[in-house]
Amino acid sequence: MILAKERDPRLVTVRRGGTLSDDDHRSLAAWAVACAEHVLPLFERERPDDDGPRSVLAVARAWIRGEVPMKTAHDAAFRANSAGRGLPDPARFAALSAGQAVAVAHVAAHDLGAAAYAIRAVAADAGPAAGVAEREWQRERLPSEVRALVLDDQRRRDPICWGVFGA
């Protein structure tokens, strides 16, 4: 489980009673997509003919641009999640990362799910040190406008995100 029982209002959009702006919501989604895309080759190596997770990330990018509604993006998450079923951990976690990235459209807090599954994918493929390097790669790409929020959220939710953020 990567979502806290109590939702952080900083990760809830203003129109839903939180404090997250639409621009920051899109920034979180774009970062989550980048995290998932970075590990997508681990899925594609296992299933080169399955473009499901890649197409799901295209839906996420379309949502960020305002071209598809949130419901379309939310529904796409299930396609990525099912693409990973039964696969070795690196491929499965990469597919789950894509599913979490597109789910950010629905719940911004899924951004850490995309990042955490990406770290798990790399660590499962190449070991714990590679997972740490992946975490650092992700942090280097955090948009400045949401950097402090994401780093604080990583510290807060690290225990339910398998400890991958090293809080």
The residue type found at 115 is A
pTM of the predicted model as reported, rounded to 2 decimal places: 0.96
Q: What is the pLDDT of residues 8-60, one digit of tens each?
A: 999 999 989 999 999 999 999 999 999 999 999 999 999 999 999 999 999 99
Q: Rounded to whole angstroms, how far apart are CA atoms 42 and 48?
A: 10
d(CA 96, CA 91) in angstroms, rounded, equals 9
Report the pLDDT value the prediction gives residue 101, as an integer from 0 to 100.
Answer: 97
- pLDDT above 70 for 167: no
